[in-house]
């Protein structure tokens, strides 16, 4: 029996990086996994096969996290095909970094739409099912940048701070229905998102982290297993940093 046996989870943005690691850990722990992707169609389809090999039900959906109506359709499809929705993980995210002076309106809107509005979209669509079940765990992936701010990432930091305020509000509103909401704030995790940076910059970051290394996607995924499982049944409204003491 895994920690998540019998539970159904929906994970957004699971074709690569942290979302993919969460999907695999969830399947290993016995959860049925619905997940989304947008541009990485082949990777999304391959993941569906990989997850099914764990003997759980798995299905990938091509769905744009920033689209309100698409999120509603997605949640309805998951509930009708899986028969439940116990855990919702909002992981889909992008960066469009630039100094404020050079940041375009499009770069602002795109980041807020995909990173922040996406959380509103799926949570709004999922709450009816979770309220009926009188149970649910919502996990939103924020960032240490949403706590501290970061030069060159005003749009990203604003979206990630917004996720924290949103998560805490959901925890307050839905706590009486036994629905929990928490945010996970990764520090520097080595994925494709951070792989685009030059090695010298990356080594500088590693050196500045008290644990002297970047994190692995699996280390974020393990935190999500804990928050999705009944092991965390009295934890709600929290922001859990997974950052090797980067921001302390
Ligand atoms: P990644 O490797 O770039 O993966 C991002 C995922 O999001 C991909 O699966 C991508 O799918 C999906 N996605 C992007 N736009 C989407 C959209 N409109 N609709 C649906 N899915 C979409 O990034 P990552 O490093 O794993 O980051 C995952 C999350 O952790 C993000 O929220 C990020 O902000 C957060 N985070 C990361 C770090 C880090 O150091 N890596 C640190 C703090 C927080 P497609 O490719 O199929 O479009």
User: 132 alpha carbon to ligand 1 midpoint, in Å?
Assistant: 30
216 lines ligand 1 (CB under 6 A): no
For ligand 1, mutation pick of 38, 44, 114 (most atoms within 8 Å of CB)? 38
Q: How far apart are CA 150 and CA 171, in angstroms?
A: 26
Residue 200 confidence (pLDDT): 92
Specify the ligand 1 atom closest to the Cα of 156: 34
- Using left for φ > 0, alpha for ψ between -120 and 50, and beta otherwise, residue 163 falls in alpha
Q: What is the CA radius of gyration of the chain?
A: 17
- Single out the residue of 228, 5, 12 nearest to residue 116, CA to CA: 12
Q: What's the half-sphere exposure (Cβ side, CA atoms, 13 Å) at 237?
A: 11
Q: What's the half-sphere exposure (Cβ side, CA atoms, 13 Å) at 195?
A: 9
pLDDT at 240 > cutoff 90 = yes
What separation, in Å, do the N-terminal and C-terminal C-alpha atoms of the chain show? 36
159 lines ligand 1 (CB under 6 A): no
9 lines ligand 1 (CB under 6 A): no
Arithmetic mean of pLDDT, 12-21? 98
Token readout for 148 is 């501290």
234 flagged as catalytic: no
Q: How far apart are CA 7 and CA 2, in angstroms?
A: 10
Arithmetic mean of pLDDT, 12-37? 98
In order of their start, the domains of the chain are: 8-241 (3.40.50.720)
Which residues fall in the annotated binding site for NADP(+)?
91, 156-160, 189
Degrees, nearest 5: CA angle 113-119-123: 140
66 lines ligand 1 (CB under 6 A): yes
Residue 197 confidence (pLDDT): 84
Report CA dihedral (98, 104, 109, 115) to the nearest 10 degrees. -10
Specify the ligand 1 atom closest to the Cα of 18: 26
- Which pLDDT tens digit goes with each residue over 34-90? 999 999 999 999 999 999 999 999 999 999 999 999 999 999 999 999 999 999 999
Instruction: State the pTM of this model.
Output: 0.98
Residue in the structure block whose two tokens are 């009926």 = 132
């Amino acid at each position: 029996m895994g920690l998540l046996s019998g539970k159904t989870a929906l994970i957004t943005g699971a074709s690569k990086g942290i979302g993919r690691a969460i999907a695999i850990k969830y399947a290993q722990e016995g959860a049925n996994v619905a997940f989304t992707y947008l541009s990485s169609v082949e990777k999304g389809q391959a993941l569906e096969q990989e997850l099914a090999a764990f003997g759980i039900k798995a299905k990938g959906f091509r769905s744009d996290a920033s689209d309100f109506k698409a999120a509603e359709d997605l949640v309805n499809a998951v509930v009708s095909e899986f028969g439940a929705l116990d855990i919702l993980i909002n992981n889909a995210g992008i960066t469009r970094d630039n100094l404020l002076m050079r940041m375009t309106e499009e770069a602002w809107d795109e980041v807020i739409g995909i990173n922040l509005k996406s959380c509103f979209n799926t949570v709004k669509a999922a709450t009816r099912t979770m309220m009926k079940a009188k149970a649910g765990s919502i996990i939103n992936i924020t960032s240490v940048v949403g706590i501290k701010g970061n030069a060159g990432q005003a749009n990203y930091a604003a979206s990630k701070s917004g996720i924290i305020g949103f998560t805490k509000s959901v925890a307050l509103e839905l706590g009486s229905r036994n629905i929990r909401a928490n945010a996970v704030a990764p520090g520097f995790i080595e994925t494709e998102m951070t792989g685009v940076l030059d090695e010298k910059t990356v080594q500088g970051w590693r050196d500045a982290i008290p644990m002297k290394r970047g994190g692995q996607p699996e280390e974020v995924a393990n935190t999500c297993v804990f928050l999705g499982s009944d092991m965390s049944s009295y934890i709600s409204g929290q922001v859990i940093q997974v950052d090797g003491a980067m921001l302390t």
